[in-house]
Amino acid sequence: MNKSLLIENFGLTETEVNIFLSLLEMSESTASEIAHRNSLNRTFTYDRIDKLVKKGLVSFFIKDDKKYFKAADPHNLVAILKENQEKIISELESKRIDIENLVPSLLKLRKPKDEMPHVELYSTKRGIKSVLNLILKDKKELYIYGSLEKFQEIMTHYYEIWNKQRIKNKIKTKILTPDNVEIDNTEIDYLSKEHKTNTTTFTFGNKTVVILWSAVPVAILTESKEVAKSNIHFFNGLWDRDVKIYSGINGIRQAYWELISGDVKEFRGYGYSKILADVYSKKFSDSWHKKRIKKGIDNKIISFDDNASIDYFKPRASKVKLFEVRFLPEELQGPVCVTFSDYVVVTFIYTEKEFKVIINKDQETINTYKKHFEKLWKKSKNL
pLDDT value of residue 95: 67
Superfamily of domain covering 244-379: Endonuclease Chain A (3.30.870.10)
The single-letter code of the amino acid at 93 is: E
Cα 231 to Cα 120: distance, rounded to the nearest angstrom: 18
pLDDT value of residue 16: 87
Q: Which CATH class is domain 118-241?
A: alpha beta
Domain ranges of the chain: 3-71, 75-110, 118-241, 244-379
CA dihedral of residues 83, 84, 86, 92 (deg, nearest 10): 160
Phi, psi dihedral angles at 69 (to 5 degrees): -115, 150
Run of H or E residues at 22: helix 14-26
- The backbone region for 162, taken as left when phi is positive above 0, alpha when psi lies in -120 to 50, beta otherwise, is alpha
User: 3-state class of 167 per DSSP?
Assistant: helix
pLDDT value of residue 75: 80
> What b/e sequence results for 190-207 when a residue is b if at least 16 CB atoms lie within 10 Å of its CB, and e otherwise?
bbbeeeebeebbbbbebb
Residue 221: strand pairing partners: 120, 209
pLDDT value of residue 87: 73
| DSSP one-letter string for 260-323 | TSSS--EEEEEEE-HHHHHHH-HHHHHHHHHHHHHTT-EEEEEEE-SHHHHHHHHHHHHHSTTE
Find out whether 200 and 180 touch, Cβ atoms under 8 Å.
Answer: no
**CATH no., domain 3-71:** 1.10.10.10
Cα 193 to Cα 249: distance, rounded to the nearest angstrom: 11
Residue 244: strand pairing partners: 359
Per-residue pLDDT of the chain (383 residues; tens, 9 = 90+): 677 777 777 778 888 888 888 888 888 889 899 899 999 998 898 999 998 888 888 889 988 888 999 988 888 778 777 776 777 677 777 767 777 777 788 777 766 655 678 899 999 999 999 999 999 999 999 999 999 999 999 999 999 999 999 999 999 999 999 887 878 899 888 887 778 889 999 999 999 999 999 989 999 999 999 999 999 999 999 988 888 888 778 788 889 999 998 899 999 999 999 988 998 899 999 999 999 999 999 999 999 999 999 999 999 999 999 999 999 999 999 889 999 999 999 999 876 667 889 999 899 999 999 999 999 999 999 98
Cα 245 to Cα 249: distance, rounded to the nearest angstrom: 13
Residue 348: strand pairing partners: 337, 357
Same fold, 3-71 and 118-241: no
Cα 230 to Cα 234: distance, rounded to the nearest angstrom: 6
Radius of gyration of the chain from its Cα atoms, rounded to whole angstroms: 31
